[in-house]
Amino acid sequence: MTRHPFEYAAIRVVPRIERGEAINAGVLLYCRGLDYLGARVHLDEARLHALDPRADADGIACVLRALEKVCGQDPEEARRAGPAGEEDRGRRFRRLTAPRSTMVQPGPVHTGLTTDPEAELARLFTELVLPLPS
């Protein structure tokens, strides 16, 4: 079974840029060899409001949903997400992981090997984003 290189980045929410505190709210994963780009997001509003009680959870959730659409496997849905959705998957990943100083920003890009990018995305999402079991 051939393993393919992939790249991924956590998506962070930084409600108050000046404080630099962040929560992970998603994962982007790109695998060139299998022409795959995917995203999974989850905004933990309790954690968000612990960092900033006045944070606009609805606005942030809207941005996170747009990230999912741009990364969607359905080309038509990606196109409806705007001009970035018309680019090839590699270019979209690079655009989405470019450093920025906004409330929703990418973490550093990491690499790995996989035979199943969808399963890898699910694993990373569980490990990096979802709350730890008690």
pTM for the complete prediction? 0.90
Nearest to 8 by CA among 120, 124, 130, 109: 109
The band of 100, judged by pLDDT with boundaries at 50, 70 and 90, is: confident
Q: How many CB atoms lie within 10 A of CB 13?
A: 27
For residue 74, the model assigns a pLDDT of 67
The residues, any chain, with a CB within 8 Å of residue 80's CB and separated by 6 or more, are: 69
DSSP 8-state symbol, 45:
H
In tens, the pLDDT along 26-79 reads 999 999 999 999 999 999 999 999 999 999 999 999 999 999 999 886 666 666
The residues, any chain, with a CB within 8 Å of residue 14's CB and separated by 6 or more, are: 20, 21, 22, 102, 103, 104, 105
Q: Indicate whether 4 pLDDT > 90.
A: yes
For residue 80, the model assigns a pLDDT of 65
Question: Whole-angstrom Cα distance, residue 43 to residue 4?
Answer: 30
3-state secondary structure of 107: coil
DSSP string, 90-105: HHHHHHHHS---SSEE
Question: Whole-angstrom Cα distance, residue 129 to residue 121?
Answer: 11
User: Bridge partners of 36?
Assistant: 31
